[in-house]
Structure 1
């Protein structure tokens, strides 16, 4: 069921019943990213899936920051009277989940970083985002996304999942250029949040693709020992899109982690 508040400026999907799971999408994505996971999880849990500002169904809010998007998700939790949840974010969604965990740790039962990192962008990464913005502005967002988004999949799955890659590109094209630029700027400006991992008292899930060029393995590995309780899964022949590239395996891991978080509270 799709719900909204604030005259449609805050929108989310609400599926299933039980303990609450929040799934946060990333750059050039929307709530449909999690359709496979939602179908599975809603049989046992209540699943909340926000559409972030700037997606096809939600106007872009300004100024847009990782922190403002965390407040956006928190507003949904308040509207639904949800006092605790397992929160899982993909890529930029993980940055938002970390910002939410930093400001509202008492409402967290578990944190999942799905191809994401607590580290801030280094200068090389920031420069890459600036170049991407220039390319989008020069050649158009659609051209940029069609060239870039297939590289979110590993070389192995590029050849086996052509329909999924095309669907992912079309999803990205639903975002307008101002939103894509705002997302890049927000990600580049975010602070390091490795201290958040150290401070958490709930389980943390790390889902890592061995062939992930966006959030490389060597970026994430130093972080896995920071939380008190970590669950680490490294996927072979997987890039940045494990929820699609290895959907069945990742669903099993998500369910096991969520169940563990319920027992750990």
Structure 2
């Protein structure tokens, strides 16, 4: 496992690479960084070449001027070109899934597969936008750390909080570095993103959907219909996970990803 950097807009972007074989890009979501994928990187590296970036302004990557989903897609394209990767499967968690779909829309020729991990192709509805606006106001008043400490518990299933208190406390004690500006920029970017259900409907590559049965952020019952949109899709439901299945049920998540990758 190696941590590398590239420069975008004069800002340093950090990413992890590991293993050898067909390329797989793992994009983390909001409120976590590339280390959220630690279990998956360790598991998959024996058979695949893994790229896991810290998105701009998160973890040890510096904040760029463009953190729109299209901007993140361009960043991913630059990273895989730096690594001389011709095609890759791109799997995105939550916000990383939004960026994955933007990448699929802009650069379909670079894809071997798409993975949406606790994510959705739909745009924010009015209720979600209202919630994000309140989050921005809270961050402006109290700062990024206070905001992350308030929102992070909502990403876990109640099962995890009760039965794996050590895991939960360890996560809460190691929240990623984010500035007030980064939190606000990403929330505004997520509010502004377009509906990309047509990307799923027109996908020429297999699509993986991983859901958390106890996910309150991307509820299973409101998003599972999207799994019927692609011509080739695989669905896996993590029964004891909320919004962080890669951490809450790593063995099950690893197997779901491995099975998908081996099929493509």
After TM superposition, the score normalised by the length of structure 1 is 0.94
2: CA distance between counterparts of 1:180 and 1:161?
A: 28
How many residue pairs get aligned? The number is 261
Residue matched to 1:51: 54
How far is the alpha carbon of 1:139 from its aligned partner? 2.3
The gaps in structure 2 that reach 5 residues or longer are none
CA–CA separation in structure 1 for the residues paired with 2:77 and 2:127: 32
Q: What residue number does 1:42 align with? A: 45
What CA deviation, in whole Å up to 9, does each residue of 1:120-156 have, x standing for no partner?
Answer: 0001001100001111222232222222201111111
Contact 1:209 1:240 in 2 (8 A): yes
1:93-242 correspondence runs (5 A): 93-242=96-245
Please give the alpha-carbon distance, in whole angstroms, between the structure 2 residues aligned to 1:197 and 1:112: 11
Q: Which stretch shifts more, 142-151 or 79-88?
A: 142-151
The answer to whether the 8 Å contact 1:117/1:219 transfers is no
Q: Secondary structure at the match of 1:244?
A: helix
Distance in 2 (CA, whole Å) between partners of 1:173 and 1:80 is 25
- Cα distance change of structure 1 residues 193 and 255 upon mapping to structure 2, 3 Å threshold: same
CA contact (8 A) 2:92 2:100 kept: yes
Structure 1 Cα separation of the partners of residues 108 and 35 of structure 2: 27
Q: Deviations over 1:70-103 (max 9, x none)?
A: 1111110111111111110000000011000000
Report how far residue 8 of structure 1 moved: 5.8
Query: How do residues 248-263 of structure 1 correspond to structure 2 at under 5 angstroms?
Result: 248-261=251-264
Residue 4 (structure 1) aligned with residue 2 (structure 2): no
Task: Give me the whole-angstrom Cα distance separating, in 2, the residues matched to 1:170 and 1:4.
Answer: 26
In structure 2, the CA distance between the partners of 1:259 and 1:173, relative to structure 1 (3 Å rule), is closer
Q: Assess if the C-alpha contact under 8 Å between 2:160 and 2:168 holds in 1.
A: no
- Aligned-partner Cα distance in 2 for 1:173–1:257: 29
Task: Provide the aligned C-alpha RMSD in A.
Answer: 1.4
8 Å CA contact retained: 2:113, 2:205: yes
Superposition deviation, residue 163 in structure 1: 3.0
Partners of 1:145 and 1:169 within 8 A in 2 = no
* Structure 1 residue runs without a partner (length 5+): none
